[in-house]
Amino acid sequence: MARIVVIGASTGGLPAAYELREALGKGHEVTVISNTETFHFIPSNPWVAVGWRKREDISFPLRPYLEKKGIKFVAEAAARIDPAANEVHTIAGTKVPYDYLVIATGPKLAFDDVEGLGPEANTSSICTVDHAEKAYESFKALLEAPGPVVIGAAQGASCFGPAYEFSLILDTALRKKKLRKKVPMTFITPEPYIGHMGLTGVGDSKSMLEHEFRERHISWHTNAKIKRAEKGKIVIEVAGEGEKELPASFSMIIPSFKGVDAVASVEGLTNPKGFVIVDEFQRSPRYNNIYSAGVCIAIAPMEQTPVPTGVPKTGYMIESMVSAAVQNIKSSIEGRQPSGRATCNAICLADMGDTGIAFVAIPQMPPRDVTWSKKGKWVHLAKVAFEKYFIRKMKKGVSEPLYEKIILKYAKIRKLHE
């Protein structure tokens, strides 16, 4: 009997546990270690921040659904990985042995990299549901006393999509409240241009997002490095333009990501930022029984930009990484060579409150076979449908990339007819 341990129970870890259980059967042991007892659907956080969703709409307890599938659950944060002993130590002192380890922790949010950044300081965040709920309280205060808003991402950030989404969702929410004209909005980003997204753009992303910002009267600063966030203002330095002070009655900034401490502290497992180094089979080159998938893996930037930017890991890519890791663990248990590889395609639905933009990059790294972007109300409806679909399949205990396959097929069909 092989013992497989998954660290993390979000959009990477939970599907990994379900796929492992299905692929390996009941003859092997699957255990999930999580720092929370509850699953939260992170892509819905921008809606939580404007009051369009509540915590209970996008969350459910993990234990009953995992145990129903015969998966053990340890609701304690991982404190240390001991690859020599093949054990994970939790903050409560529990030692969980493994034969194979899957790291799907997600990131550590590096708010401390910028003075005054984060929900415990002077800016809001939508990176967790707790942060989104705090952002909603700040949003309600903005409704009571309208003033300037600053939305964006810090230098080194890699997850730009939620920043774009939230700026446009916030615009829609303010219009619905008939307060938009009282709220000047500014978007700040380390990207060299709007729509770069750490991917050197996708299709017409630059022109589409610039057009959307102009239509909605959202000004922007690119190549922007945040110097500090103070109460009521954000101080940035723009490459070639110098320092600027932006008044901010409300601000939401996506921080840079790093690897979590329990993972980053393992010698030879990660890069300097703490992201797990993996080979083409999602396996650590140093420790051949450790695999990783999701935001916590290391992917080199696609190009050097004036202000540092990272590479996003989208939902479709994460599910592909998970499937490859599971396939290769199964092969290893059965004495076969690994063959599963992630497809590394990027598929993103960016909601804008009442409409949206879909981006498809196949593969994510250029040159691409497909690079495609389209706007329409169908994107907003598809995002809502995907939320319901993904939460339902996580409760059912299945991990099927059905939605992603549909989007992928649709993109290819549209390209053939253009």
Q: Is 344 a catalytic residue?
A: no
Strands 233-238 and 3-7: unpaired
Dihedrals φ, ψ of 334, to 5°?
Answer: -90, 5
Query: Which position among 127, 296, 344, 348 bears the catalytic label?
Result: 348
Q: Which two tokens stand for residue 61?
A: 């307890």
Residues whose CB is less than 8 angstroms from the CB of residue 395 and which lie 6 or more positions away in sequence, other chains included: 60, 65
Phi-psi region of 116 (alpha: psi -120 to 50; beta: other; left: phi over 0): left
Q: Return all residues near 25 (Cβ < 8 A) that are at least 6 apart.
A: none
CA dist list (Å): 399 to 17, 35, 251, 333, 348: 9, 21, 36, 21, 18
Maximum Cα interatomic distance, the chain, rounded to a whole number of Å = 65
> Catalytic site residue 127?
no
CB 340 within 8 A of CB 327: yes
- Contact by Cβ (8 Å): 259, 275: yes
| Nearest-10 crossing angle of helices 13-24, 315-333 | 30
Cα 294 versus chain centre, distance: 8
* Nearest-angstrom CA–CA distance, 150 and 142: 12
* First-to-last C-alpha distance (Å) of the chain: 53
CA dist 279 and 356 (Å) reads 35
Asked if the bond preceding 107 is cis, omega within 30° of 0, the reply is: no
CA 410 – CA 246 distance, rounded (Å): 42
**Distance (Å) of CA 388 to CA 44, 62, 127, 409:** 10, 17, 20, 21
The CA distance from 203 to 195, in Å, is: 10
Residue among 127, 159, 296, 344 flagged as catalytic? 159
Which residues form the catalytic set? 159, 348
